[in-house]
């Protein structure tokens, strides 16, 4: 398999930052390998979080819940371009008292203000009768490296960038330890030195779990709409 040094928009850290984390004087010989590990680690992190992290446009067809609020499958939300209920477009509310839809960027919750269609403020119950088109996610380090950031989207949190660096470094260190649980350290009186063999270090898990989507939204998973 040919390894590439090209960044990926899903990269949750920069190659140079990963190298500095591993060893500040690390050369360029393993750059392609490290870039491949970084992209693989970033994709794994998104799957672990049950989220899509890099900012992009989403189109969702959802079942109406009969409530005044629904939560989008992806967050944080940078913008909402269209909301439809039973085939009719809902306008965005222009102020605090105007009817229409409003959204919480941090949580991805869209709410309807009173007066929509003269029928109240509910996403009427139905099958695939509610539609959303919106932009959500973060501007990742990979997107910055490619010059492909999305206006209005927030930057990826530092904790997720650190988690990507830690996981990339772990994969890099473990490449020479496949099947090995440790080695004898002659400098320590021939004592046995054990390796960490887990897939995810506890410190990395702590960084990730604060961003994890722990339950599906309305029975849906972001995997169904991932880009």
- Would you say 133 and 79 are in contact if contact means Cβ atoms under 8 Å apart? no
| Residue ranges per structural domain of the chain | 1-51+139-177+195-227, 56-136
CB burial readout 2-35, b (16+ within 10 A) else e: eeeeebbbbbbbbbebbbebbeeebeeebbeebb
**Burial of 112 (C-beta count, 10 Å sphere; 0-12/13-18/19+):** buried
Q: Tokens 């206006």 sit at which residue?
A: 151
DSSP 84-121: EETTEEPPBP-SSSS-SEEEETTTTEEEEPTTGGGS-S
Average pLDDT per 10 consecutive residues for the chain, totaling 227 residues:
84 96 89 95 95 96 94 96 95 86 94 67 92 98 97 97 95 68 50 52 90 68 42
Helix (H) or strand (E) holding 62: strand 56-62
**Burial of 55 (C-beta count, 10 Å sphere; 0-12/13-18/19+):** buried
- State pLDDT tens for residues 131-184: 999 999 999 999 999 999 999 999 999 999 999 999 999 998 877 654 444 454
């Amino acid at each position: 398999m040919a390894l590439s040094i090209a960044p990926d928009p899903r990269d949750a850290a920069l190659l140079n930052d990963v190298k500095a984390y591993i060893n500040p004087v690390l050369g360029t010989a393993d750059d392609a390998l490290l870039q491949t590990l970084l992209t693989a680690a970033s994709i794994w992190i998104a799957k672990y979080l049950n989220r899509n992290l890099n900012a992009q446009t989403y189109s969702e067809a959802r079942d109406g819940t009969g409530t005044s609020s629904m939560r989008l499958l992806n967050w944080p939300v940078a913008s909402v371009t269209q909301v439809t209920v039973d085939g009719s477009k809902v306008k965005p509310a222009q102020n605090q008292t105007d009817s229409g839809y409003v959204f919480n960027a941090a949580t991805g919750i869209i709410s309807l203000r009173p007066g929509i269609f003269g029928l109240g403020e509910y996403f009427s119950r139905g099958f695939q009768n509610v539609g959303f088109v919106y932009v959500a996610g973060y501007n990742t380090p990979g997107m910055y490296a490619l010059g492909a950031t999305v206006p209005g989207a927030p930057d990826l949190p530092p904790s997720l960038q650190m988690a990507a660096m830690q996981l990339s470094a772990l994969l890099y260190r473990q490449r020479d330890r496949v099947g090995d649980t440790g080695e004898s350290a002659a400098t320590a009186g021939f004592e046995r030195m054990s390796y960490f063999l887990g897939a995810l270090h506890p410190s990395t898990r702590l960084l990730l779990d604060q961003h994890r989507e722990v339950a599906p939204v309305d029975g849906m998973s972001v995997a169904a709409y991932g880009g």
